[in-house]
């Protein structure tokens, strides 16, 4: 071969008498290739001065099989169970695929200063999964390092990265419809829409369901449980209470129920409440919380599949995968239609 031509996987496969898939596995030190065949492939690759090139990213034959999972510090709080459970599923699925996960928790200060995560230093990892929403500038900075990147549980439409998200709009739409079908026509929303795309999408689902019933949005029924910096704040109940609330998360719903009890309201007899996420606390709360269940295992499994696809093929166009939700009925919602009550 002329020296001006860059070697390809097919060149190595032809010389070794194997398939391109076998060459790819051997160069990545994955299972399924005998040691003798692997040695021959590596020898041929070295003789050809082969670089495993993925787009503008150069991967050597000694790639690490390590995937970085980069998470905002706020989502790794000691009381957080939603993101920690997704991380557990990521670890399990990666191991099944002969890869390993390295966690890098990023502080708000490092995010604001666009500080390069330690795990993204040279030779440590092959790719990055970003779990939980960072600001757009920080995501762009991670992309600029040249690794394959998947966004997990959030997205930015104009960055051009693979992403996997919960069907937040439809999930909250179904939760609001569930309340309407049980006779609730005055429904509040708990959540700060300035914080994440997920909360904004959940608000849109709530809004969509009310529009379909010609129910006007009452801004007094929009309740904040966090400030714009994602800190917990005191929940202030509306002066004129709705009969039900949908909440952007189970954590918000449980805090709301505590506030309602403190204010001498009974859940669900006086006020019905629906959460979102189906975390452990939704089962041990009193009453047990009706909620929208997010398939965290599916989010994690698909994230690992997506990132490995990118490692093996940089020419894939950016994809967006939406994971559906399910309503889990428990004890925090009252059916107003049973006794023909006034639902307004």
Say what the pLDDT of residue 58 is: 39
Q: What is the four-CA torsion angle of 9, 15, 21, 25, rounded to 10 degrees?
A: -90
Say what the pLDDT of residue 27 is: 75
Which of the four pLDDT bands, split at 50, 70 and 90, describes residue 8?
Answer: confident
Say what the pLDDT of residue 52 is: 46
Residues 150 and 240 in one domain: no
Closest among 328, 218, 229 to 283, alpha carbons compared: 328
Region 287-316: mean pLDDT is 93
Say what the pLDDT of residue 277 is: 96
Number of domains forming the structure of the chain: 3
Which of the four pLDDT bands, split at 50, 70 and 90, describes residue 121?
Answer: confident
Percent of the chain past pLDDT 70, that is, above it, reads 91
CATH code: domain of residue 234:
3.40.50.2300
Which tops the pLDDT comparison, 40 or 101? Answer: 101
Are 119 and 70 in contact, with CB atoms under 8 Å apart?
Answer: yes
| 193 belongs to a structural domain | yes
Residues 273 and 190 in one domain: yes
What are the start-end ranges of the H helices in 17-135? 20-27, 35-47, 82-96, 108-112
Name 203's bridge partners.
Answer: none
Q: Name the residue with tokens 């439409």.
A: 157
| 3 belongs to a structural domain | no
Closest among 130, 207, 206 to 165, alpha carbons compared: 130
Residues 270 and 247 in one domain: yes
What are the start-end ranges of the H helices in 30-145? 35-47, 82-96, 108-112, 136-144
| 337 belongs to a structural domain | no
Which of the four pLDDT bands, split at 50, 70 and 90, describes residue 244?
Answer: very high
DSSP H or E segment with residue 322: strand 320-323
**pLDDT score of 344 more than 60:** no
State the residue range of the domain holding 191: 168-293
Residues 260 and 318 in one domain: no
Query: Which of 49-63, 199-213, 243-257, 306-320 is least confident?
Result: 49-63
DSSP H or E segment with residue 14: helix 9-16
**pLDDT score of 6 more than 90:** no
What span, in angstroms and rounded, lies between the C-alpha atoms of 24 and 20? Answer: 6
Say what the pLDDT of residue 130 is: 98
Residues 147 and 176 in one domain: no
Which tops the pLDDT comparison, 332 or 79? Answer: 332
How do residues 59-106 score in pLDDT, each as one tens digit?
Answer: 434 578 899 999 999 998 877 789 999 999 999 999 998 899 999 999
Give CA 79 to chain center in angstroms.
Answer: 18
Of the three residues 59, 75, 92, the one that is the final residue of a domain is 59
Residues 287 and 172 in one domain: yes
3-class secondary structure, 320: strand
Region 313-323: mean pLDDT is 88
Residues 178 and 264 in one domain: yes
How do residues 134-171 score in pLDDT, each as one tens digit?
Answer: 999 999 999 999 899 999 999 998 899 999 999 999 99
| CA max distance for the chain | 85
| 303 belongs to a structural domain | yes
Say what the pLDDT of residue 297 is: 96
DSSP H or E segment with residue 56: none
Q: How high does pLDDT run on average in the chain?
A: 90
Residues 125 and 273 in one domain: no
What span, in angstroms and rounded, lies between the C-alpha atoms of 19 and 23? Answer: 6
| 340 belongs to a structural domain | no
332: left (phi over 0), alpha (psi -120 to 50) or beta: alpha
Say what the pLDDT of residue 77 is: 82
DSSP H or E segment with residue 187: strand 187-190
| 266 belongs to a structural domain | yes
Does this model's pTM top 0.85?
Answer: no
Residues 31 and 72 in one domain: no
Residues 139 and 278 in one domain: no
Which tops the pLDDT comparison, 80 or 230? Answer: 230
Residues 159 and 300 in one domain: yes
Percent of the chain past pLDDT 90, that is, above it, reads 72
Residues 41 and 75 in one domain: no
């Amino acid at each position: 071969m002329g020296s001006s031509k860059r070697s390809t996987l097919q060149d190595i496969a032809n010389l070794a008498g194997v398939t391109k898939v076998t060459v790819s596995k051997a160069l990545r030190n994955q299972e399924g290739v005998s040691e003798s065949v692997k040695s021959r492939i590596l020898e041929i690759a070295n003789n050809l001065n082969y670089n495993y090139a993925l787009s503008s990213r150069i991967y050597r034959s000694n790639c690490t099989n390590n995937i970085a999972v980069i998470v905002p510090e706020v989502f790794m709080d000691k009381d957080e169970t939603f993101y920690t459970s997704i991380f557990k599923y990521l670890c399990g699925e990666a191991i099944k695929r002969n890869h390993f996960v390295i966690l890098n928790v990023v502080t708000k200060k490092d995010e604001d200063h666009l500080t390069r995560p330690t795990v993204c230093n040279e030779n440590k990892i092959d790719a990055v999964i970003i779990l939980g929403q960072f600001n757009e500038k920080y995501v762009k900075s991670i992309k600029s390092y040249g690794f394959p990147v998947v966004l997990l549980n959030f997205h930015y439409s104009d960055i051009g990265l693979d992403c996997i998200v919960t069907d937040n709009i439809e999930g909250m739409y179904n939760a609001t419809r569930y309340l309407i079908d049980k006779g609730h026509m005055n429904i509040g929303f708990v959540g700060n829409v300035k914080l994440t795309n997920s909360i904004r999408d959940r608000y849109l689902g709530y809004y969509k369901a009310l529009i379909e019933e010609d129910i006007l949005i009452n801004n007094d029924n929009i309740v904040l449980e966090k400030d714009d910096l994602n800190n917990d704040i005191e929940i202030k109940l509306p002066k004129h209470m709705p009969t039900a609330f949908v909440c952007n998360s189970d954590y918000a719903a449980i805090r709301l129920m505590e506030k309602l009890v403190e204010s001498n309201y009974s859940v669900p007899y006086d006020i019905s409440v629906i959460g979102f996420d189906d975390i452990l606390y939704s089962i041990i709360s009193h009453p047990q919380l009706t909620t929208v269940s997010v398939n965290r295992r599916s989010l994690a499994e698909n994230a690992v599949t997506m990132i490995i696809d990118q490692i093996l093929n940089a020419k894939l166009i950016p994809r967006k995968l939406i994971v559906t939700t399910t309503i889990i009925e428990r004890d925090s919602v009252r059916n107003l239609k049973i006794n023909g009550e006034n639902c307004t």
